[in-house]
Amino acid sequence: MTAPLYSPTDRIHRLERLLETNRVLSSTLDLEPLLQTVVDVASELTDSEVASLLLYDPEIQQLRFAASPWFQKTSLQSMTVPIDRSIAGQVFREKRPVVVQEGSKDPRLYRSVGEQVGLATRSMLAVPLVFRERPIGVLEALNKRGGVNYTGEDVSILETLAAQAAVAIENSRLLSQVQTQYERLASLDQMKGDFIAIASHELRTPLGLILGHAAFLQDGATPDVAEHLSVIIRGAERLKAILDELSRLTHSDQGVTRLSLQVFPVKELLDEIVVKYAPAAKEKYLSLDSECKPVGLVVEGDRQKLQVALGNLIDNAIAFTDTGGHILVAASTLEPDGVERSGYVDLEVVDDGIGIPAAKIGKIFERFYQVENHMTRRKGGLGLGLPVVKSMAELHHGKVEVESVEGKGTRFCIRLPARQPKTNGNGQKPH
């Protein structure tokens, strides 16, 4: 029997219900209540006895019931519908709706479902769930009330609902995948942190023994043996430096790094750095100088951590500056045009070395990243020096800037507040 046409009031009500449903679907990310909302609204808007939603299972290449009326859930949750011999399968394959007005006479019906739930299919409207041209499932409405036929308006309204549902379902799936990957990454990150902490702790004891015994043996050794022991000591000290860098990053990640703040003259810090790295610079015939403007400049910070940060930058500068080059360690509160900058201090390391390729500047603060190929690089290490610099700067509520031109040199700048803001004791600003 042909269904009566919907009145203008009915049409407005259905559109309002669709808009309301779209708002609900847009704000619902949990898949199960989302699907249940879709089937409830589908049966309401098409004036059907029941509605159900099937999603494609790629593992078995069949459709599974993902949502149905509460009184059918238990019966349908284990059922699947074949793609090749069902109306739902046809809708899925062809990505177009199918209307069955006389179910008892249609051989395409997959009657096992009706037999399972004890519901005869008198009429049926099925539309595809399509996301970006890809079918993901089917939305069905069964047995229009009053014994009347489904209309073109019913088809349009169910297609609109299916389009809304497809987007919401894929958003929910995507969120679930992101959450799963995030949890996996968090677990891997925790494992990495645990491994670094354990490895650092376990390696320090034997490393200390190696350094202690090698230094003891070196005191009374012949020149030839003393030279071999020096090689052992240098290697052990290098390994210790790597462990220290790993520990600093791990402590920073875990939020356990503490700043020991004090106000001190910046020139003292620069002089200490130059003295420490002068021998390494001298080996390559590099000039290593310092400059502080104004001379009496002071800063509030953790002196040891800032020394580590500047030391890592100088270490890089020495490695990547050719023999006869120049390295400058500078501190200033002046802008390039000579104007006094209020509240900030720039700590700079400038060299005229080989420079950094423009395409790689954005990656140099990534952990374990190496600008040079591991087979040809001139500097050892794990690629943790610059990440440590960045971490130390951020602990001081500062930042790191870099400018570089290949073949001409590089300038690193740690910009820090001259006075540290009040914190809650762990380097974080209070809320």
What is the value of pTM for the model shown? 0.50
Q: Are 237 and 126 in a shared domain?
A: no
- Classify residue 429: in a domain, yes or no: no
Q: Are 223 and 162 in a shared domain?
A: no
Q: How far apart are CA 92 and CA 112, in angstroms?
A: 18
* Total residue count of the chain as it appears in this document: 431
Q: Are 196 and 172 in a shared domain?
A: no
Q: Which two tokens stand for residue 417?
A: 């507040």
Give the residue from 237, 240, 238 showing the smallest Cα distance to 380: 238
pLDDT band at 264 (very low <50, low <70, confident <90, very high): very high
Q: Is the Cβ–Cβ distance between 269 and 330 less than 8 Å?
A: no
Q: Are 19 and 87 in a shared domain?
A: yes
Q: How many CB atoms lie under 10 A from the CB of residue 407?
A: 8
pLDDT value of residue 212: 84
- Read off the pLDDT of each residue in 245-259 and give the average, rounded to a whole number: 64
Higher pLDDT, 372 or 284: 284
Give 85-141 as a DSSP string.
SSHHHHHHHHTS-EEES-GGG-TTS-HHHHHHHT---S-EEEEEEEETTEEEEEEEE
Q: Which two tokens stand for residue 382?
A: 């794990």
Q: Are 273 and 405 in a shared domain?
A: yes
Q: Which two tokens stand for residue 428?
A: 């974080």
- Classify residue 424: in a domain, yes or no: no
Q: Is the Cβ–Cβ distance between 423 and 373 less than 8 Å?
A: no
Which residues does 310 contact at the CB level (< 8 Å), separation at least 6?
269, 270, 273, 329, 347, 349, 414
CB burial of residue 42 (10 Å; 0-12, 13-18, 19+): buried
pLDDT tens by residue, 85-131: 899 999 999 999 999 988 778 888 887 777 777 788 889 999 999 99
Out of 205, 227, 253, a domain closes at 253
Alpha helices in 254-293 (DSSP H): 266-283
Beta strands of 132-204 (E only): which ranges?
134-144
- Classify residue 274: in a domain, yes or no: yes
SS3 378: coil
User: For the packed helices 152-219 and 31-45, what is the interaxial angle rounded to 10 degrees?
Assistant: 170
pLDDT tens by residue, 179-211: 888 888 878 777 766 776 676 667 777 877 888
Give the residue from 277, 315, 309, 317 showing the smallest Cα distance to 399: 309
- Classify residue 102: in a domain, yes or no: yes
Out of 204, 231, 253, a domain closes at 253
- Classify residue 412: in a domain, yes or no: yes
pLDDT tens by residue, 340-352: 667 889 999 999 9
CATH of the domain at 59: 3.30.450.40
State the residue range of the domain holding 34: 8-179
Q: Are 248 and 267 in a shared domain?
A: no
Single-letter code of the amino acid located at 223 = P
pLDDT tens by residue, 287-300: 999 999 888 889 99
Which residues does 423 contact at the CB level (< 8 Å), separation at least 6?
259, 429, 430
- Classify residue 38: in a domain, yes or no: yes
pLDDT band at 375 (very low <50, low <70, confident <90, very high): very low
Q: Are 42 and 141 in a shared domain?
A: yes
Q: How far apart are CA 289 and CA 382, in angstroms?
A: 27
Instruction: Report strand pairing: 326-332 vs 287-293.
Output: parallel
- Classify residue 21: in a domain, yes or no: yes
Q: Which two tokens stand for residue 94?
A: 């062809």
Q: How many CB atoms lie under 10 A from the CB of residue 181?
A: 10
pLDDT band at 269 (very low <50, low <70, confident <90, very high): very high
pLDDT tens by residue, 320-366: 999 999 999 999 986 665 666 678 899 999 999 999 988 888 888 88
Q: Are 221 and 93 in a shared domain?
A: no
Q: Are 132 and 22 in a shared domain?
A: yes
pLDDT band at 248 (very low <50, low <70, confident <90, very high): low
pLDDT value of residue 128: 95
Q: Are 295 and 397 in a shared domain?
A: yes
pLDDT value of residue 429: 47
Give the residue from 245, 266, 268, 269 showing the smallest Cα distance to 257: 245
DSSP 209: H
Number of structural domains, the chain? 3
Q: How far apart are CA 40 and CA 51, in angstroms?
A: 7
Out of 253, 287, 308, a domain closes at 253
pLDDT value of residue 425: 45
- Classify residue 2: in a domain, yes or no: no
Q: Are 341 and 267 in a shared domain?
A: yes
Q: Are 175 and 198 in a shared domain?
A: no
pLDDT value of residue 277: 92
